[in-house]
Structure 1
Amino acid sequence: MSSVETMNTVRYWAVVPAAGVGRRMNIDIPKQYLEIKGKPLMVHTLERLLDFPRLEKIVVVLDHNDEYHQSIELLRNPGILLAQGGDERYLSVLNGLKVLLDIGSPDDWVLVHDVARPCIRRSDMEWLVNQLHDHPVGGLLGCPVTDTIKRAGGNDAVSETVDRQGLWHAMTPQMFRLGMLHDAMAKAVADRMPVTDEASAIEYAGKQPVMVEGHADNIKVTRGTDLALATLYIEQQSKLIEVT
C-alpha cells in the first residue's frame, strides 16, 4: 500500500486529558476553565482541534466531580466524546484510549494533546501527521533546547552544566498508533511505572518515538504568568491569520 493510500484509509483521533485541577496555579477552579479573551482555555484548545479536518472524533477526559464542564456548550459538539478521568494524567489518557478502541482500529493514529495548550497551530498538527504517517512508532511535537541547562543539587547549588546537544522540550500533540499506545500505557500502569507523557510510555515499552519540531508558542499554561503569555500568542496568531 502506498503512503498516500495509507493516509487516506487510516483514521486519526484525539484524546484531550482535562481532569486536572491546576494545583500549581493556586486557584479555586481547574485552570482549563480560566478565560482567555472571553472564552475558557479549554474552548480555545478544542476549537483548534475541531478545526483540524483529519480528526474523526476528540475524546475529552474529565474528572468525575467536574461540575464546570456543564456550562461548556462546545462539549456537546458531535465531534466530541466524553470520558471519565483517573487520579493521574496517564490514567485519564488510558481511559480515553479505551473509548477509542471501541470505535476505532488499533492501527489508527491517536493524537494526545494537553488541554492547557490552547495555542497549538493547525500547521504544526499537519506537519506532525505528514512527518509520521508512515512511521512504525510515531512521535511528538517539541522544540530543541536553546538555553544553557544547569543541574542543581542540595540547597539548589549548581552541580553541573548539562550538554544541551540533542535535548528537546517535549510538547503535545503526541501521535502514536492507537493499539500500541494503549498497550504501552496499560503496561506502565500494570508495572506501577508512572509516566509523565505518552512518549515515556512508548519508551518504557522499548520503542523510540521521533521528535518533530514545532513552534515555540505552543506553550502549556501551568502558572499564572502563562495565562497572559498564552493570551499574547493567541492575539499574535489571529493577526497572522488575518494577514494571510
Structure 2
Amino acid sequence: MIFGLILAGGVGSRMGADKPKQYLEIGDKPIIVHTIERFIEYESFEKIIVLCPDEWIGYTRDIIKDKCENKKAADIEIITGGDSRNETIMNGIAYIEEHYGVDDDTIIVTHDAARPFINNRIISENVGKTLEYGAATTAIPAVDTILDCNNGVIENIPDRSSMYQCQTPQTFHAKQLRELYFSLTDSERGILTDASKILVLSGKKVAIVNGERTNIKITYKEDMIFAESIAKQIFSIRSATCS
C-alpha cells in the first residue's frame, strides 16, 4: 500500500503572518488545499493523511471541506503531528500501523504542505525509484555556487556539478524508515535535517528524482509573489487543456 503524508506542522515564523504559511491563500485557495488537490490526482494512494498541530486540526478540516473542489477530499485523514519533522513522520507511520498495518511493502510519500505545485509525475517517479532503490528524494541541480562556511568565513567551495537542492516529496518504505530512525542515537537524531538523512546515516541508498523549479517551498513573503504567478500559469494551462 502507498500512503501520502502531507506535513503541515510549520508555524511560518519567517513569513511574519498571523497564521501558519500553509493556510495563507494563493489564487483564492489556501496553500495546503492546492497541495492536497495535487496529491488527490495520484490515484494509487490508499489514503492521504495530513499531519498538523492539534490546535489546527478543526480549522484544517473546515478549509478542506469549504475550499477543496475534489470530492475525494472528504476521505482525507487529519491527525496530530509531532514536535519535529521526523517525529511527525513517525506519528504518520504509527497511525498507518494502527489503522491499516505496516509491512515491508508499505510506502509513504512525505511532502511539505507549503509546496503546492507538486505534480503527478514527481509523485509517480518517487514511488518508482523507491521500489527500485528502497528510498527516493526529490531534488534539483544547484545553479549557484555552494559555500561551506564556519562563523561567517568560507572553509570550502564544493564542486557544484555534484550539488543538489533538496525538495519534497521524499519517499520511503515505512517499516524500514521507522526501524532505522529508532536505531539512531539521540545525538544522531539531533542533526537530522530531513528524513532521507536517516537512511544516509545508516548506509542505505536514496535515489534522486528530478524536481522542478516551480516546486517551490513557500517560506518568505516574496515567495507569495512567485506562487501567485505560478498558480496563474498553471490555471491558464489547465483551462486551455480542458477547453
Same fold by TM (over 0.5)?
Answer: yes
Matches within 5 A, 1:24-43: 24-43=14-33
Identity score, percent: 29
Gaps of 5+ in 2: none
| TM-aligned CA deviation for residue 222 of structure 1 | 1.0
Question: CA, structure 1 residues 146+238, in 2 after alignment: closer, same or farther (shift >3 Å)?
Answer: same
Q: 1:49 aligns with which of 24, 27, 39?
A: 39
- 58-67 vs 216-225, which moves further: 58-67
Letter in 1 for 2:21: K
Q: How many residues align?
A: 232
Deviations 1:64-88 (A, max 9, x none): 2225325313499343112212111
| Cα distance in 2 for residues equivalent to 1:34 and 1:205 | 37
Letter in 1 for 2:48: I
| Cα distance in 1 for residues equivalent to 2:202 and 2:4 | 21
1:217 aligns to 2:208 (yes or no): no
Q: Is the 8 A contact 1:33 1:68 kept in 2?
A: no
Q: Is the 8 A contact 2:2 2:108 kept in 1?
A: yes
Q: Secondary structure at the match of 1:149?
A: coil
Matches within 5 A, 1:18-97: 18-66=8-56, 68-74=59-65, 77-97=73-93
Letter in 1 for 2:215: N
Match of 2:102?
A: 105
| Cα distance in 2 for residues equivalent to 1:158 and 1:191 | 26
Q: 2:195 aligns with which of 191, 194, 198?
A: 198
State the superposition RMSD in angstroms.
2.2
Letter in 1 for 2:218: V
Question: CA, structure 1 residues 166+236, in 2 after alignment: closer, same or farther (shift >3 Å)?
Answer: same
Q: Which aligned runs of 4 or more in structure 1 are off by greater than 4 angstroms? A: 188-192
Letter in 2 for 1:181: L
| Cα distance in 1 for residues equivalent to 2:199 and 2:90 | 13
Q: Secondary structure at the match of 1:53?
A: coil
Q: Is the 8 A contact 1:56 1:79 kept in 2?
A: no
Letter in 2 for 1:217: T
Match of 1:179?
A: 175
